[in-house]
């Protein structure tokens, strides 16, 4: 029996950024023992996680999102640090972090509000924009937080890219890559602003 699909809205990473992050995996995997490393095609910045969702609610939220971000311009993002979620000595999520961005916050707020208006119950935690790289620490010894700064491939040279599209993804558990783009919402070209 197939598990129910989950849906989420995310900021898409350009293909060349996914490739550059993939290039850092070998070095990171030598330093960090995590059970699962995210497939490079699945790298993204989550804006709103919907879970299992009725088609009517998705259609409604899609219409609201299209309207709310129609005039939002594409914007520059910078990946500059690494971080963790979960216990410090046995983290469950290892991620790449982004420099603060008012443009990202505005797009996320518009997407989040549209989903709430469409009737979705969303997480209320503070938005912490990140790109999940790996899950579940499996190292024999406790994780040493200082290793993050020592192994950060972005500390000397930030990874800079242009954020151009919000995407509704569908999750296919057990597949790799497991996130399928369903609907794409392009941000306005900065030339048109």
Over the stretch 12-56, which tens digit does the pLDDT of each residue have?
A: 999 999 999 999 998 899 889 999 999 999 999 999 999 999 999
The domains of the chain are located at 7-187
Q: How far apart are the first and last CA of the chain?
A: 49
In angstroms, rounded to a whole number, what is the distance separating the alpha carbons of residues 153 and 156? 7
pLDDT in tens, 68-122: 998 899 999 999 999 999 998 899 999 999 999 999 999 999 999 999 999 999 9
Question: Would you say 84 and 139 are in contact if contact means Cβ atoms under 8 Å apart?
Answer: no
Catalytic residues: 44, 130
In angstroms, rounded to a whole number, what is the distance separating the alpha carbons of residues 93 and 85? 5
User: How far, in whole angstroms, is CA 187 from its chain's centroid?
Assistant: 17
Locus of tokens 């990946």: 79
Q: In this structure, which topology does domain 7-187 adopt according to CATH?
A: Cyclic Phosphodiesterase; Chain: A, (3.90.1140)
Tell me the whole-structure pTM to 2 decimals.
0.92
């Amino acid at each position: 029996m197939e598990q129910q699909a989950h849906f989420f809205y995310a900021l898409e990473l350009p293909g060349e950024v996914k490739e550059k992050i993939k290039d850092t995996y070998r070095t990171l995997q030598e330093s960090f023992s995590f059970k699962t490393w995210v497939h490079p095609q699945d790298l993204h910045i989550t804006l709103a996680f919907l879970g299992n969702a009725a088609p009517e609610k998705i259609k409604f939220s899609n219409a609201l999102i299209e309207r709310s971000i129609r005039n939002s311009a594409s914007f520059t993002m910078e990946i500059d640090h690494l971080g963790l979620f979960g216990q410090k000595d046995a983290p469950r999520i290892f991620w790449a972090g982004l420099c603060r961005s008012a443009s990202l916050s505005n797009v996320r707020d518009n997407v989040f509000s549209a989903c709430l208006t469409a009737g979705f119950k969303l997480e209320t935690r503070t938005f912490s924009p990140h790109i999940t790289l790996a899950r579940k620490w499996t190292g024999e010894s406790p994780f040493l937080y200082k290793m993050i700064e020592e192994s950060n491939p972005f500390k000397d040279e930030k990874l800079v890219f242009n954020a151009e599209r919000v995407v509704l993804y569908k999750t296919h558990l057990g597949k790799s890559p497991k996130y399928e783009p369903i609907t794409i919402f392009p941000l306005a070209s900065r030339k048109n602003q």
